[in-house]
Amino acid sequence: MADAEKPPYPGFDMNKPSIARTYDYLLGGKDNFAVDRAFGDRFINDLPGSRQIPFDNRGALIRAVRELVTTTPVRQFIDLGSGLPTADNVHQVAQRYAPEAKVVYVDNDPIVLAHGRALLAENDNTAVIQADLRDPKAILDHPDTQRLIDFGKPVAVMFSATLHHVNDDEDPAGLVRFWYDQIASGSHVFISHFRSENDPRSQELEQVLQGSLGRGRWRTDEQILALYGDGFTVLEPGIVPSAEWRNPEAPDDLGDYQRLIATVLAVKD
Ligand SMILES: C[S@@+](CC[C@H](N)C(=O)[O-])C[C@H]1O[C@@H](n2cnc3c(N)ncnc32)[C@H](O)[C@@H]1O
């Protein structure tokens, strides 16, 4: 292993690919190790076209944050399973349009905390918490959440490409319900999610991810919408491929893999 490949902080597992680091690699970032690149190359080489999934997902996330701060009263974000790619993260997009916007990033991968501390060194309106999104009470009670988020005002809770990493027996809908119970009316919940469409490619992808990480669920549109439960209104255009979500520049014909990631935004009634 080259010197540059030594773990920079304790807690990094160099022998197992990490979701955050592989995602970073697929997006062209540098916060990844050989094990992540080898895993990412399986998608690039064996399932050509699947690499578009992270790009479409990021595009929809960026459009959603921009829309939230420019067309709704939302000025605070809880970004659950944030990753921290190199550019256009939630705080960068939100604060571009609303400098006062507050963002709490949450991720359980230590690389996100390490990168986040550098990225956020001089940003008092933004914090990064290392926590497991399956333990929402710890996130709610965290001093940074309590300092930055006013739950009396509208919040956007972002589940961007994360709930598909919560397996069925871990109750992903229960996580959405936890945050529903905390947030004010007019708050929004954003979900992007692997979308099965009963397409055999989604089964192939699921097998690769589950086989290596034990996570990665491709759910149907109905199953994804059911994660919201009652008390939400799904906003236009409903649940659609991420590349098409509020994207005037969407191509007329999506690639096959582009149908396998969906985006949806809903507001608490
Ligand atoms: C596919 S990336 C998505 C990153 C970003 N939200 C986006 O949409 O571009 C998934 C992220 O969720 C994080 N994640 C997965 N499971 C998690 C968990 N149980 N708790 C906290 N973070 C988690 C991973 O570490 C990774 O950074």
- Which domains does the chain carry? 52-199+219-268 (3.40.50.150)
139 residue type, one letter: I
Give the tokens for residue 255. Answer: 């690639």
Atom of ligand 1 nearest to the CA of 27: 9
Q: Round to whole Å and give the CA distance between 110 and 218.
A: 26
Residue with CA at minimum distance from ligand 1 atom 11: 81
Ligand 1 pocket check for 108: Cβ under 6 Å: yes
Q: What spacing in Å lies between the alpha carbon of 153 and ligand 1's midpoint? A: 25
Residue with CA at minimum distance from ligand 1 atom 25: 20
* Helix residue spans in the chain (DSSP H): 19-26, 34-41, 52-71, 90-97, 110-119, 136-141, 143-148, 172-182, 200-213, 221-226
Strand partners, 228: none
Q: What spacing in Å lies between the alpha carbon of 80 and ligand 1's midpoint? A: 7
Residue with CA at minimum distance from ligand 1 atom 5: 82
Q: What spacing in Å lies between the alpha carbon of 82 and ligand 1's midpoint? A: 5
Q: What does pLDDT average to in each consecutive run of 10 residues of the chain (269 residues)?
A: 54 85 93 94 93 96 98 98 88 97 96 89 93 98 98 98 97 98 98 94 93 94 98 98 98 94 98
Q: What spacing in Å lies between the alpha carbon of 149 and ligand 1's midpoint? A: 21
Ligand 1 pocket check for 246: Cβ under 6 Å: no
- Residue 121: Cβ within 10 Å count: 7
Ligand 1 pocket check for 64: Cβ under 6 Å: no
pLDDT of residue 1: 38
Tell me the C-alpha to C-alpha distance, in Å, between residue 71 and each of 56, 64, 97, 232.
22, 10, 11, 18
pLDDT of residue 2: 41
Ligand 1 pocket check for 177: Cβ under 6 Å: no
**CB neighbour burial string for 172-196, b if at least 16 within 10 angstroms, e if fewer:** beebbbbbbebbeeebbbbbbbbbb
**What is the tens place of the pLDDT at every residue in 58-74?**
999 999 999 999 999 99
pLDDT of residue 5: 61
Give the predicted TM-score (pTM) of the model: 0.95
Ligand 1 pocket check for 19: Cβ under 6 Å: yes
**What is the tens place of the pLDDT at every residue in 78-94?**
999 999 777 899 999 99
Ligand 1 pocket check for 17: Cβ under 6 Å: no
Ligand 1 pocket check for 93: Cβ under 6 Å: no
pLDDT of residue 3: 44
Contacts 24+ apart (CB under 8 A), 68-74: 68/94, 68/156, 68/188, 69/93, 69/94, 69/97, 69/98, 69/101, 70/97, 70/98, 72/154, 72/186, 72/188, 72/267, 73/153, 73/154, 73/186, 74/154, 74/155, 74/156, 74/186, 74/187, 74/188
Ligand 1 pocket check for 164: Cβ under 6 Å: no
pLDDT of residue 11: 67
- Residue 46: Cβ within 10 Å count: 10
Tell me the C-alpha to C-alpha distance, in Å, between residue 62 and each of 117, 160, 224.
21, 10, 20
Q: Round to whole Å and give the CA distance between 160 and 19.
A: 13
Ligand 1 pocket check for 205: Cβ under 6 Å: no
